[in-house]
Amino acid sequence: MESTQQTEVNPKKSIGQVLSAMACPINTRVPLIEPGRESPEVKELYDLCHDMYGIVPKFIQVLAHAPGAARSFLIFDRDIKVAALQAGDKERSRMQVLCILKPSLDNSCHNCAHHNVALARQLEFTDEQLLSISSNSWHQNNDFTEKEKIVLDWANAVTDMSARDKNSLFHKMLKHFSNSEIVELTYTTALWNCTNRLAEAMHITAESSDKGINWNKK
C-alpha cells in the first residue's frame, strides 16, 4: 500500500530529480585532507584509492582524519565491491549495487546515491528501475528479475530494521543465494546505511560527474 501511494504522488518524477532534491552542503564539516598534504600512513590509502577509483574521493579525504576508519572502508571496497567489478562478475555487482542504492536513496545521501546511481547505470539498470527503487515500487517493474526483487526486499528490511522478523523473506533469500552471498549482501546493505549517516553528518557530497569515480579502472 505504501509503495502504491508513493508512486501515485509524483508519477512523473525522474531519478535525476530525486538526486537533485538531495541536500548538497558546500563545505564538509571537517576539512578535507587533500592529496599532497597527507601523512605517509594516509598516502598509502590514497595510493590505494587511485588504484581502485582513479581519484581520492572526498569521502576518503574526510575519513583520513581517522586512518583506521578509512582503511576499513577501503578494504571492504577492494576485496568485495571493486573486486567483483574488476573480475567482470556482473551479477554479483548488480546485486551489490541494489543493496547500496536502497539505503542510499531512502536516506537521501547525496554522496552515496550519486556515485552508485552512476555505477548502476554502468551495470545496465535503467533510470526507470532506479526510480522504482526510490519510490518503493520495484515489484511493479517487470524489468527486475525475481531474484533482484527479493534482494531489494531484503535490503529494504535490513534498512528499516525489520529483517529480524522477516523469516519468509529470509527463506526466499536462501532459495537464491548461498550463506556466503547472503552475509555479503546483508553486510553491504548495513555498511552503506553507515556510510550514508557518516556522509550526511559530515556534509560530504559527491564529486561532479566529470570528476567522479572511474568505475571502469582496472
* Torsion angle of the four alpha carbons 46, 60, 81, 93, in this order, in degrees rounded to the nearest 10: -120
- Position 215 scores a pLDDT of 79
pTM reported for the whole predicted model: 0.90
First-to-last alpha carbon distance for the chain, in angstroms, is 44
List the domains of the chain with CATH numbers. Answer: 39-88 (no CATH), 90-211 (1.20.1290.10)
Q: Cell numbers 578535507 label which residue?
A: 32
Contact present, 182 and 152 (Cβ < 8 Å): no
* H helix and E strand count, the chain: 12, 0
pLDDT in tens, the chain (218 residues): 344 334 344 456 899 999 999 999 999 999 999 999 999 999 999 999 999 999 999 999 999 999 999 999 999 999 999 999 999 999 999 999 999 999 999 999 999 999 999 999 999 999 999 999 999 999 999 999 999 999 999 999 999 999 999 999 999 999 999 999 999 999 999 999 999 999 999 999 999 988 888 877 65
Q: Which three cell numbers stand for residue 167?
A: 523469516
Alpha-carbon span 55 to 90, nearest angstrom: 23
Question: Alpha helices of 123-202 — where are they, by DSSP H?
Answer: 127-134, 146-159, 167-176, 179-201
- Position 10 scores a pLDDT of 47
Q: Which three cell numbers stand for residue 216?
A: 571502469
Alpha-carbon span 97 to 191, nearest angstrom: 12
Number of neighbouring beta carbons within 10 Å of residue 169: 16
Number of neighbouring beta carbons within 10 Å of residue 70: 23
